[in-house]
Structure 1
Amino acid sequence: MDVAISALRAELSRWIERARSGEEVVITDRGTPVARLLSIDAAPLLDQLVQRGVLNRPDRADRPLARGAPRVRARGPVADLVTEQRD
């Protein structure tokens, strides 16, 4: 189901109810899809994405820490670096 931003603004509660009932509402701006309105299921989002095959669980449960790593310090403005890279 597609809805223009203007119609979404005018009847927001109606579109939220449709999403809550399970419909997927695609919000468009001048005919171009820009967002999707979906209901939130009881299962955590990451679990849903894993089930759909969008994400994979990491091989390791522990995360590496950056402790002890030297912190990088800038020697000048980032804009100078960007300009240098463009030349």
Structure 2
Amino acid sequence: MAGHQVCCIAPIARPRGEADELWAMLGEGREEGTSGWLKDTFGLSWQVVPKTPTDLLSDPDPVKSERATKAMRGMRQLVSQAVVDTYKE
């Protein structure tokens, strides 16, 4: 199964600070991907997601939710305010 992902963890951090702390704790030796994904030193994949962006993804207005989705895809560490600003455009 080399090269296949067997486990990932995607905690939803409530306040922005919790997401930042978790991102920092996973720290040295990590491989960063996009949309808040990273791989720790043990090879376990994590998606660190602040609560606010996930709320925007479920907006009933498909134009707004798509803007939030596109903003998140372009980020490594998810930044809530940047997603919110893009969502409101």
Q: TM-score range by the shorter chain?
A: under 0.3
**RCO higher in structure (CA 8 A, sep ≥6):** 2
Instruction: Report which of the two structures shows the higher radius of gyration computed on alpha carbons.
Output: 1
- TM-score norm. by structure 2 comes to 0.23
